[in-house]
């Protein structure tokens, strides 16, 4: 899936790296507790076309870098959910060469025109789900963040 980009990301990463291990563990616990709800929301908004696309979505929380990932994360999921990936990223209109094998074993090649699929048509992972995730995690972080920073600045954590 496409990577989410946002302004100020490098600054937040630096702040996360500067936090003590105890503070990072608390923040990672927030991500871990919110991940199932965000995954459920993403699965509910995934189109049914393509069969098992909903089951292929997964989440991953890196406790070291405090990174939250959602999408087709395993090689198996990317392989089996290639059409879901196309729906999520979009596709440009183009003419492609296709190959078909007849029952007799003969191979025939032909061209086919495919329509464009707008990236915003199916907002599976990085549209409505991003807003939901930010609201879900943001509420929990709003309560936790001042407490973590106060303990960090006041020397409440053991170094």
Residue 18 has pLDDT above 70, yes or no: yes
Cα dist. 101→56, 80, 98, 109, 118 in Å? 29, 22, 10, 9, 31
pLDDT tens-digit map of 53-77: 888 888 999 888 888 888 888 899 8
More confident call, 106 vs 128: 106
Q: Which residue has the tokens 């960090």?
A: 152
pLDDT at 6: 65
pLDDT at 49: 65
pLDDT tens-digit map of 77-93: 888 888 887 777 788 99
Mean pLDDT of 116-140: 74
Confidence band (pLDDT; 50, 70, 90) for 51? low
pLDDT at 1: 47
In SS3 terms, the chain reads as CCCCCCCCHHHHHHHHHHCCHHHHHHHHHHHHHHHHHHHHHHHHCCCCCCCCHHHHCEEEEECCCCEEEEECCCHHHHHHCHHHHHHHHCECCEEEEEEEECCCCCEEEEEEEECCECCCCCCCCCCHHHHHHHHHHHHHHHHHHHHHHHHHHHCCCCC
Residues 130, 133, 138: CA angle, nearest 5 degrees: 125
Residue 101 has pLDDT above 90, yes or no: yes
Residues 124, 87 contacting (CB under 8 angstroms): yes
pLDDT at 124: 60
């Amino acid at each position: 899936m496409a990577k989410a980009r946002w302004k100020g990301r490098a600054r937040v990463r630096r702040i996360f790296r500067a936090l003590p291990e105890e503070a990072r563990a608390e923040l990672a616990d927030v991500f871990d507790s919110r991940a199932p709800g965000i995954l459920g929301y993403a699965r509910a908004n995934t189109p049914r076309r393509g069969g098992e696309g909903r089951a292929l979505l997964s989440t991953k929380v890196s406790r070291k870098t405090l990174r939250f990932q959602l999408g087709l994360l395993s090689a198996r999921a990317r392989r089996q959910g290639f059409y879901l990936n196309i729906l999520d990223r979009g596709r440009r209109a183009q003419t492609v060469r296709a190959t078909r094998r007849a029952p007799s074993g003969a191979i025939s090649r032909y061209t086919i025109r495919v329509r464009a699929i707008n990236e915003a048509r199916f907002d599976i992972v990085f549209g409505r789900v991003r807003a939901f995730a930010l609201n879900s995690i943001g509420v929990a972080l709003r309560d936790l963040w001042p407490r973590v920073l106060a303990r960090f600045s006041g020397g409440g954590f053991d170094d």
